[in-house]
Structure 1
Amino acid sequence: MRGLASIQKRGKKYQYTISHTVNGKTQLIRKGGFHSKAEAKAAAAEVEAKIARGIVPHLKPVPFNSYYRQWVELYKVNIAHSTRLHYEYTARAIEEYFGSTPLQKIKRDHYQAFLNKFGKNKAKETVEKVNSHIRACVEHAVMDQIIPYNFTKHTKLYYTNPAKKSKDKYLNVNESNLLFNEILKNLDKGLGYYILLLALTSGLRYEELVGLTPDDFNFTSNTIHVNKTWGYNNRMPKGFGPTKNDQSNRMIDMDEITMTEFKKLFSTLKPNKENLVFYSPTSKYKVLSNTLSNKLLKKMLLSLNINPITVHGLRHTHASILLSHGISIYYVSKRLGHSDVETTHKYYTHLTEELYERDSKNTVSIFNNMKKNK
């Protein structure tokens, strides 16, 4: 086994060709697009070094669309149905633009062209999610030695529909306080107020809220065990399902006020077949409707002269309150059930930047105050 490289000029750019012999059979490895002869030589030398170590470049074309689907099947096994739909959305985007184009033929410019086309009439969050899926998949292709580098790196995301402003997604501390007390005053009016209370004080996802049973509440330790979800729309499997990821299976500490109210509720709650807390016999999915919960929240916020947000916005509100009170982002990440702290940081960059400025001033004041008064 040996490699022998030659450099050719193709127009204004250069390419290398490596004559690769294995068991008496010669195969050629070519790569072009280099801006200088030296750049092509350096890249060829790297490939030759790998060949010398017994690392054989992947010569057989690997279709991008099938490789992505195989990657999802192998490495994204224990994910929630809703998350799987996001990966399927990315698969369709790959199929529509790249089809069965081999990974080996896709360059950074090709991928940038894809981002530019895909991002038209798309929101920032959509483009970011699709790009993150593809980038992780392509990184695996690099590790599998199918391609030499990740062509998604050093590209620029493009989108034309701006994401909703962060400040519109959550309530500030004063607004949260008003809502909290208003909910407490209305708990006797129905189960809908209880789910809003718990959404605000726990930060749970809606599918986690409606998947709760009384057994998940521990009134001795004031904790709630989050270990399942419930399908509340047609995009989710019916009935109980797994949490979004392994990190979402968690135990969270709760305040005494919320737990006291739920302890009272359970003493009067009528039993149901699935033992659900937020059971609704008239609902299609047998739990409190997300749509109706949003309407109830909107009605309450308008009555308080607060701009409406969704129930999911209460999850953002919960995290924002904790971060603004100096709670560590690592704790917030685990409490929310995020897969990693980077996810939390991405969602709350606006807050962490504000906290950075506050902490910067506090750091300076600490040392300014160290000098003892005489």
Structure 2
Amino acid sequence: MASFQKRGKTWQYCVSAKPKPIRKGGFKTKKEAQVAAAEVEERLRKYNNPRTTKILFDEYFESWIDVYKNDIGDITLNSYRTTLQTIKVNFPGRYLHEINKREYQQFLNDFGSDHAKQTVRKINTHIRACIQEAIEEGIIHIDFTRKARLTGKIESKRPEEKHLNYSESHILLNELYNRKERSIGYYLLILALTSGMRYAELVGLTQKDFNFELNEITINKTWDYKTGKGFMSTKNDPSNRVIKIDIETMKLFKEFFNEITPNSYDLIFVSPTNPNKVLTNEFVNKILKKTLKDLKIEPVTIHGLRHTHASILLYKKISIYYVSERLGHASIDTTLRYYAHVVKELREEDTKNTLDLFQKMLLLESATSEKFVQNKMK
């Protein structure tokens, strides 16, 4: 049974579902919300019926998005919608139970012939998560995505691997801090590197989000910097968080607030000339690229600074649980997946340290025993 609520000038529906209710707003009238809610309820009835076996792949994937991805941001949601279109093009009229591993692998091979491996990986990740749910619901019994081999036309680094190392980030941070004339874009770069925030979170910050007494920043919204729709929700519930920031950075921003152009949204990284109100991703990337080039460091994007932040924390043996919370990941599994390359290196180091530890303990035990025997003989 759906319920409806008016929020400001628009309507929102809430449909009871497991594991959590499905909510969606932005409807101009209550009637529009009722029609949309009825469609969701119909999908739930169809896919929760254990006797239903003939379910179209694209229809199930669309339903899965509505049920399990209803609380993600628009940018991420569009990524899932792109995968849905790919499924519609490549599996038209195909039922879930009819698809086998060979057919799915052929799809990945064909798709990868003219797409980057990174894109193939993302498509497979989306589909695999959906198929796992279909198996748990008893709709199908075989995971046709299991052990799928990922192919791709371009062997480029994964985005999370494009980050600065500790030495490079140290050089960059000092360069950004020591600039005598620092434009607003440099302030954003400093905060990106010291906080690990997503770009939409950074440009969605207001002065009220800064607590200078506790050196904390509250992250509870984003700004739609691509279309200029305004404030949006964060990527997921764990993305709503409060993070600690170092004292020097907070001091810097306390002074910077005196220079900010007043605006009706109380935004920090405002751009009066941009119709979307805030600094564009392209503008900031241009500043970052030039700065790194001057420092003779291989360029990364602004998103690469988020990965740099996380990688540095992990290299410095900061708990992966804390890193996951600080980044606002949905779960620690996300952190492990994104930073598997870092975790692998740390695991190798931990293995060596573990072996060294017990080797030293055994040598110490041997030396102690020998000394004990010598004392007894005396």
Smaller-chain TM-score bracket = 0.7 to 0.9
| Structure 1 or 2: more helix by fraction | 2
Partner of 1:297: 288
Cα deviation for residue 148 of structure 1 reads: 2.4
Partner of 1:132 in structure 2? Answer: 125
Q: Does 1:120 align with 2:104?
A: no
Relative to 1, partners in 2 of residues 1:275 and 1:166: Cα closer, same or farther, differing over 3 Å?
Answer: closer
Alignment partner of 1:152 is 2:138: no
Quick check: 357-366 or 303-312, which moved more?
Answer: 357-366
Task: Indicate yes or no: 2:330 matched with 1:322.
Answer: no
Give the aligned partner of residue 268 of structure 2: 277
The amino acid across from 2:211 in the alignment is: N
Q: Which residue of 2 is the match for residue 75 of structure 1? A: 68
Report the equivalent of 2:328: 337
Of 84, 95, 120, the residue aligned with 1:91 is 84
Contact 1:191 1:278 in 2 (8 A): yes
TM-score by length of 1: 0.80
Question: Are the equivalent residues in 1 in contact too, given 2:289–2:300 (CA < 8 A)?
Answer: yes
AA matched with 1:128: R
SS at match of 1:189: coil
- Structure 2 Cα separation of the partners of residues 258 and 129 of structure 1: 35
Larger radius of gyration: 1
- Determine the structure 2 residue equivalent to 1:356: 347
For 1:67, the aligned partner's letter is Y
**What residue number does 2:95 align with?**
102
User: What count of residue pairs does the alignment treat as equivalent?
Assistant: 317
The equivalent residue for 1:307 is 298
Contact 1:298 1:309 survives alignment (8 Å): yes
Q: Could you tell me which runs of 5 or more consecutive residues in structure 1 were left unpaired when the two chains were aligned.
A: 1-55
TM-score normalised to structure 2 length? 0.79
Given the superposition, is the C-alpha separation of residues 345 and 124 from structure 1 closer, same or farther in structure 2, using an over 3 Å criterion? farther
RMSD, aligned CA: 2.1
CA distance in 2: counterparts of 1:189 and 1:278, whole angstroms: 13
Aligned equivalent of 1:259: 250
Deviations 1:179-206 (A, max 9, x none): 1111011264221110010011001111
Counterpart residue type for residue 331 of structure 1: Y
Task: Kindly state the Cα deviation for residue 359 of structure 1 after the two structures are TM-superposed.
Answer: 1.7
Shifted more, 163-172 versus 148-157: the winner is 163-172
Q: Post-superposition shift, 1:60?
A: 5.2
Deviations 1:240-272 (A, max 9, x none): 101111111111111111011011112333321
Alignment partner of 1:241 out of 207, 232, 253: 232
Query: Measured at CA, do residues 167 and 139 of structure 1 come closer, stay the same or move farther in structure 2, by a change above 3 Å?
Result: closer
User: Which residue identity is paired with 1:70?
Assistant: S
Residues 354 and 154 of structure 1, relative CA distance in 2, 3 Å threshold: closer
- Quick one: which of 162, 169, 174 aligns to 1:181? 174
CA contact (8 A) 2:196 2:307 kept: yes
For 1:238, the aligned partner's letter is K
* Residues 170 and 316 in structure 1, CA contact (< 8 A), matched pair in contact too: yes
How many angstroms apart in 2 are the aligned matches of 1:219 and 1:246? 25
User: How many percent of aligned residue pairs carry the same amino acid?
Assistant: 48
1:146 positional shift: 2.3
Q: Deviation digits for residues 276-326 of structure 1, max 9, x if unmatched?
A: 010110112111121111111111111111111111111111111111111
Shift of 1:123: 2.1
Q: Return the alpha-carbon distance in structure 2 between the equivalents of residues 129 and 360 of structure 1.
A: 31
Please give the alpha-carbon distance, in whole angstroms, between the structure 2 residues aligned to 1:85 and 1:187.
41
- Give 2:333's aligned amino acid: E
Displacement of 1:167 in angstroms is 8.9
The amino acid that maps onto 1:206 is Y
Match of 1:214 among 199, 207, 213: 207
| Alignment check: 8 A CA contact 2:234 2:240 kept | yes
